[in-house]
Amino acid sequence: MPVSVTLPALGESVTEGTVTRWLKAEGERVEADEPLLEVSTDKVDTEIPAPAAGVLTNIRVAEDETVEVGAELATIDDGTGAAAAPAAPAAEPAPAAEPAPAAPAPAQAEAPAPAAPAPAAPAPSGGAASGTDVVLPALGESVTEGTVTRWLKAVGESVEADEPLLEVSTDKVDTEIPAPVSGTLLEITVGEDEVAEVGGKLGVIGAADAAPAAPAPAPAAAPAPAAPEPAPAPAPAPAPAPAAQAPAPAPAPAPAAPAPAPAAPAPAQAPAAPAAEGAYVTPLVRKLASENGVDLNTVTGSGVGGRIRKQDVLAAAEAAKAAAAAPAPAAPAAKAPAAQAPSPLRGQTVKLTRIRKVIAQNMMKALHNQAQLSTVVEVDVTRIMKLRARAKESFLAREGVKLSPMPFFVKAAAEALKVHPAVNAKLNDDDTVTYHDVENIGIAVDSDKGLMVPVIKGAGDLSIAGIAKKTAELAGKVRSGKLSPDDMSGGTFTISNTGSRGALFDTIIVNYPQVAELGIGATVRRPVVIDHPELGETIAVRDMVYLTLSYDHQLVDGADAARYLTDVKARLEAGEFEGELGL
């Protein structure tokens, strides 16, 4: 029976989406919840999963076409695909139960031990046709391909569903690809150090009882008895050890043995220690470590599962340089950051990532549709810094999150928005203005993928603790790549902490279609003139920060901006947050 694939709701203000890529072709079999296509909106790029298992029979919306939410994208025949699967030869596009082309093995598909299937070229034959394809999943919005760095299982070995099967490296992340089903690895179609496109076939997994079909590399004239599961080992080894490609001696229970063996001389043993802890190192990272003299055994990985990434190696190299300069007087140590490793992008021409394209389009749209202007004020946040220093330990123990200065700025900005509606508004195409009745504040975050703006919904009704918890939650989602479209939609005002990288202030571009955005500069301790109640005008060391408000001059005047910033400044300089901090 046909099952309709429709474009789901992708956020509060998203009404349409553009199909950027189909991950399956017509006639291919899909599993329920398997990524089926990719869709791009003005908020986010995301994958649409298959609503049911079956065969993709009709694609109604081609790539680069735009449709509205709820529109039908394709249909899936859930009956034909199910009937084809039990019939041994049914490959992905062939719903008929006929035995595929007159290939060597269809007649023996029911027997667990067919005669050795042809090496790797005739993929459509025997075991491959009756198995489940292992495909390269989407690994990020701008990732189109990946390099297989290591197979964790050899042909003929049994695997469990969701068990790590191979490792793939992309320009964004190094990750493990899990097995889609339980069974036996019948075929590897993409070898180590080879590149595959997203959605490309990497290998084939067959039913567990069809396991012995797989020993591709062999003169295996006598198939081993069907009972022991390790029969797929190469012919010379009758022992029940799952002998993979490398000469790993024993079937030790720990999965530390299958390290890649690309015939590297001495460094081939270097990954032994990280492998023992499950932290595989890609060839790119290993090469970078060798060039910078970094011992990988001393590096703590920041990637998924403790994976060591390029950034970790570069940080370790910088730390080593700083340590080498430490015995000298303090002045040379301060110059250590100057000796940074050159960027690997030097001299290269690369394709613009999809998220960078979206950011660029939104920036140009904002500049072309708004008359943008910026106003700057200077704020003394000494009281805020002292309050935070007094409360941070008890706050962490009570609320479970760290207390940064950011929640104070968000709180002050949200309170002032209630009094200055023109700053928290939207200009409509029909020459009307919508003044929002809620303060949904987006927080601009610099991530590996590009600029992300997750939204704190109802920030004007949250306490300092509520804002801190929500900020920590959204920051965690940015780091793990788990932001949903809803997390990034519905914002009415944006705050950008440009000072986190040391900038004193920045003339930000407004996050269109909002009409204003607040920039927070770096907090700097410096001498300023203050009016002391007893000493009169005197010079003191204070914590100072610049706040910049960029706004659309079509709706917001300079006086409106100044009044808004003055209220934010007054709230922060008063520093009256003791009640919320329990002081």
Q: Would you call the peptide bond into 249 cis, given omega within 30 degrees of 0 as the criterion?
A: no
The encoded tokens of residue 230 equal: 């390790």
The encoded tokens of residue 522 equal: 């770096």
Burial class (CB in 10 A: 0-12, 13-18, 19+), 113: middle
Measure CA of the first residue to CA of the last residue in the chain; give whole Å: 65
Q: Which residues pair with 183 in a beta bridge?
A: 159
DSSP per-residue letters across 230-242: TTTS-TT--SSS-
What are residue 30's phi and psi, to 5 degrees? Answer: -130, 155
Kindly list the catalytic residues: 553, 557
| HSE toward the beta carbon, residue 68, CA cutoff 13 A | 1
- Taking a C-beta distance cutoff of 8 angstroms, is the pair 375, 557 a contact? no
Contacts of 473 by beta carbon, 8 Å cutoff, 6+ apart: none
Q: Which residues pair with 530 in a beta bridge?
A: 538
SS3 of the chain: helix, strand, coil, percent, to 5: 30, 25, 45
Cα–Cα distance, 225 to 244 (Å, whole number): 19
Q: CA geometry: angle at 455 spanning 44 and 491, to 5°?
A: 85
Which residue in 377, 451, 383 sits closest to 141, CA to CA?
451
80's enclosing H/E stretch is helix 78-84
Q: What is the arrangement of strands in the sheet containing 16-22, beginning at the earlier edge strand?
A: 45-49, 35-40, 16-22, 66-68
Sign, Cα dihedral of 90, 34, 281, 311: positive
